[in-house]
């Protein structure tokens, strides 16, 4: 994969950097700046090399037209604070204002253009429309650096097309993510444990199938655990259930047994009366969820303390741990204990630990853990999973 060195001297050259600055916002306030911090290494290096830096990114899922709630303006302000240097914000992606701002850049200057997805060409399925938008972006730069790992699994104008139109290379964030993921797939230190959570089994089908050939232990939590319990014949009351995946899950359980891979399911569950932060709740055995006070109306919202302790013990004895997906509804304090215990276990083990982006990264920060307490926190949950599934990521393929 081409790296920044392949671009030669960058002094006085305009470099377009595709970042992933898709940070969570609440009333216009950034609630987790992890992705902004992760982008700084590449930006600082380019500035020090004398490049004129043009940052581009998406935020949220606007429908191809401007929406103020998805503006990158707050990101520019926060990035300037973290960078310790001005970051000019331009309220358009392509147009006269953007062109003038780029033309006025001096060596080491940084400008952030508005949300790429305000233009329908960014995510268009029409190759010609995508390429036309990428061509407009390419006119601003002399080189392109791909540093938004969270989007490298997408064929989009700013990810794949732009990389083909300009001399291109991977930024330090993308290169670092790839190095970590290769440690998880090529020759991981053993015992190798993967912790999977999140709401749906269907979101993890490919990665489960691929990992059964590679891991020693799979720990299953989150909403997806109820489909596993149901596949074993247990009632899950009103908990989240993907009935159409029961046969698939039974197949995975059989494959795991044949391969000698441990799939560890919860032995106790925190069941609530309703999906609400203040709902009445209690802990019951995983094979007796309907025995709770709420009967068939009970909803499982977290793994229980016995399960959390068992998961923590397995993690402690592992040499490599990959975690993707919270163990429960961590946003509600009453149902955050399982996720918190797993996160703490990752910080305390001597093994190599990777938090697989997305909700997992948000969870560890929301629960008060620091990034440097883990071996690595990925900036791309979907991209990480697709890599671990063995899929080809188009945003990396164009940099080969």
pLDDT recorded at residue 163: 98
Give the model confidence (pLDDT) of 269-312 as tens digits. Answer: 999 999 999 999 999 999 999 999 999 999 999 999 999 999 99
Between the alpha carbon of residue 8 and those of residues 16, 130, 139, the distances in Å are 15, 28, 20
Would you place residue 361 in the very low, low, confident or very high pLDDT band (cuts 50, 70, 90)? confident
Between the alpha carbon of residue 39 and those of residues 83, 187, 268, the distances in Å are 10, 28, 40
- Give catalytic status of residue 395 as yes or no: no
Q: What is the 3-state secondary structure (H, E, C) of 89-156?
A: EECCCCCHHHHHHHHCCCCCCEEEECCHHHCCCCCCCCHHHHHHHHHHHHCCCCEEEECCHHHCCCCC
Is 325 in contact with 198 (CB distance < 8 Å)? yes
Binding site membership: which residues? 20-22, 35, 58-61, 117, 154, 204, 300, 331, 357-360
Considering 176, 221, 381, 382, which one is annotated as catalytic? 382
The pair of structure tokens assigned to 284 is 């019951």
pLDDT recorded at residue 358: 75
Give the model confidence (pLDDT) of 62-91 as tens digits. Answer: 999 999 999 999 999 999 999 999 999 999
Binding site membership for (2R)-3-phosphoglycerate: which residues? 35, 117, 154
pLDDT greater than 90 at residue 263: yes
Considering 358, 375, 380, 395, which one is annotated as catalytic? 358
Percentage of residues in the chain having pLDDT higher than 90:
88
Cis peptide before 191 (omega within 30 of 0): yes
Spatial separation of the C-alpha atoms in residues 349 and 328, rounded to whole Å: 22
- Give catalytic status of residue 358 as yes or no: yes
Considering 2, 37, 183, 200, which one is annotated as catalytic? 200
Q: How far is CA 221 from the centre of its chain?
A: 18
Tokens 């701002």 correspond to 101
Considering 18, 35, 47, 365, which one is annotated as catalytic? 35
Mean pLDDT across the stretch 327-332? 96
- Give catalytic status of residue 78 as yes or no: no
Binding site membership for ATP: which residues? 204, 300, 331, 357-360
pLDDT recorded at residue 243: 95
- Give catalytic status of residue 197 as yes or no: no
State the DSSP code for 3: B
Q: How far is CA 231 from the centre of its chain?
A: 28
Strand 262-264 to 192-196 pairing: unpaired
| Closest of 75, 134, 104 to residue 14, by C-alpha | 104
Alpha helices in 260-336 (DSSP H): 305-316
The pair of structure tokens assigned to 92 is 């358009």
Spatial separation of the C-alpha atoms in residues 325 and 384, rounded to whole Å: 12
Is 181 in contact with 356 (CB distance < 8 Å)? no
Strand partners, 268: 285
SS3 (DSSP) at 363: helix
Global confidence as pTM: 0.89
The pair of structure tokens assigned to 219 is 């720990």
Phi, psi of 227 (to 5 degrees): -70, -35
Give the model confidence (pLDDT) of 123-165 as tens digits. Answer: 999 999 999 999 999 999 999 999 999 999 999 999 999 999 9
Spatial separation of the C-alpha atoms in residues 219 and 236, rounded to whole Å: 18
pLDDT recorded at residue 131: 98
Spatial separation of the C-alpha atoms in residues 332 and 240, rounded to whole Å: 17
Residue ranges and CATH numbers for the domains of the chain are 4-175 (3.40.50.1260), 187-389 (3.40.50.1260)
Tell me the average pLDDT of the chain: 95
Give the model confidence (pLDDT) of 14-52 as tens digits. Answer: 999 999 999 999 988 999 899 999 999 999 999 999 999
Binding site membership for substrate: which residues? 20-22, 35, 58-61, 117, 154
pLDDT recorded at residue 199: 87
| Closest of 392, 393, 387 to residue 185, by C-alpha | 387
């Amino acid at each position: 994969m081409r790296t920044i060195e392949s671009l030669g001297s960058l002094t006085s050259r305009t470099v377009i950097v595709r970042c992933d600055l898709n940070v969570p916002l609440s009333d216009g306030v950034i609630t987790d700046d992890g992705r902004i911090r992760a982008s700084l290494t590449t930006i600082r290096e380019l500035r020090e090399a004398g490049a004129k830096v043009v940052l581009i990114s998406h935020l949220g899922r606007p429908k191809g037209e401007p929406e103020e709630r998805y503006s990158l303006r707050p990101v520019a302000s926060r990035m300037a604070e973290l960078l310790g240097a001005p970051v000019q914000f331009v309220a358009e992606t392509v147009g006269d204002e953007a062109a003038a701002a780029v033309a006025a850049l001096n060596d080491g200057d940084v400008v952030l253009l508005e949300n790429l997805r305000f233009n329908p060409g960014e995510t268009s399925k029409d190759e010609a429309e995508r390429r036309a938008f990428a061509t407009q972006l390419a006119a601003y730069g002399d080189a392109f650096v791909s540093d938004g790992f969270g989007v490298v699994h997408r064929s989009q104008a700013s990810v794949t097309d732009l990389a083909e139109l300009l001399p291109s290379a991977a930024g330090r964030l993308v290169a670092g993510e790839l190095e970590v993921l290769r440690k998880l797939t090529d020759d991981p230190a053993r015992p190798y444990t993967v912790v999977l959570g999140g709401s749906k089994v269907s979101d993890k089908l490919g990665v489960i199938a691929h990992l059964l050939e590679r891991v020693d232990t799979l720990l299953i939590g989150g909403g997806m655990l109820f489909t596993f319990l149901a596949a074993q014949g247990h009632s899950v009351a009103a908990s989240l259930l993907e009935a159409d995946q029961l046969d698939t899950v039974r197949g995975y359980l059989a494959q795991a047994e044949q391969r000698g891979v441990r799939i560890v399911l919860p032995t106790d569950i925190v069941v609530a009366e309703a999906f609400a932060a203040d709902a009445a709740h209690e802990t019951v055995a995983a094979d007796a969820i309907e025995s709770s006070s709420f009967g068939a109306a009970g909803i499982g919202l977290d793994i229980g303390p016995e399960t959390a302790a068992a998961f923590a013990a397995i993690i402690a004895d592992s040499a490599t741990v990959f975690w993707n997906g919270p163990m429960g509804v961590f946003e509600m304090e009453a149902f955050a204990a399982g996720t918190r215990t797993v996160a703490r276990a990752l910080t305390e083990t001597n093994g190599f630990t990777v938090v697989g982006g997305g909700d997992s990264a948000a969870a560890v920060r929301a629960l008060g853990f620091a990034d440097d307490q883990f071996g690595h926190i990925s900036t791309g949950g979907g991209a990480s999973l697709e890599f671990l599934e063995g899929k080809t990521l188009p945003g990396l393929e164009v940099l080969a």
